[in-house]
Amino acid sequence: MRRLEFFVDPDHKSLRLDIFLSESQNEFSRSRLKKLIEQGYALVNNYPAQAKYRLKTGDKIILRIVAPSVSKVEAESIPLKILYEDKVMLAVDKPAGMVVHPAPGHGRGTLVNALLSHCSGLSGIGGVERPGIVHRLDKDTSGVVLVAKNEIAHRTLARQFKSREI
């Protein structure tokens, strides 16, 4: 378990804990940080805190980093139509009828199952059920799905989707 430590300066007082942590480092997505906070891995002045906690000048924040649990989603050798790929991301043409990530009634044959076979290092990026997935398309919708290969790419792409840059 790793540990990150922060002290709140006057410029950051009144920020929410989750927003402060998101802005103070580039390694983890805000959703991953929220999960760590909810699981009690974020301490403010040595006490567990909620994501909505408003910071005060001088607060000491400790974030304990635990590895994400191992995905129970299995890799499957399903052909993918890859439109673009580099070290940090790939763009896949998802056909209509394919589910993006496993869900009740759709545990196999998903885009995530195929991606885990194609990219062995995706497990845990974006969550164990949706490794690498930045956004999704409905089962009956065809189109391009962007997939992050690391946490920084995931966070960057998610932020660009949120701000409608993509």
Catalytic residues: 138
Largest Cα separation within the chain, whole Å, is 53
C-alpha closest to that of 66 among 7, 2, 133: 2
Residue 84 tokens read as 């673009």
At which residue do the structure tokens 């497990």 appear?
Answer: 123
Residue 79 tokens read as 């052909």
Return phi, psi of residue 39, to 5°: -85, 5
C-alpha closest to that of 122 among 160, 75, 85, 86: 75
The beta-strand segments (E) located in 17-119 are 42-44, 47-48, 60-65, 82-85, 89-94
CB 61 within 8 A of CB 42: yes
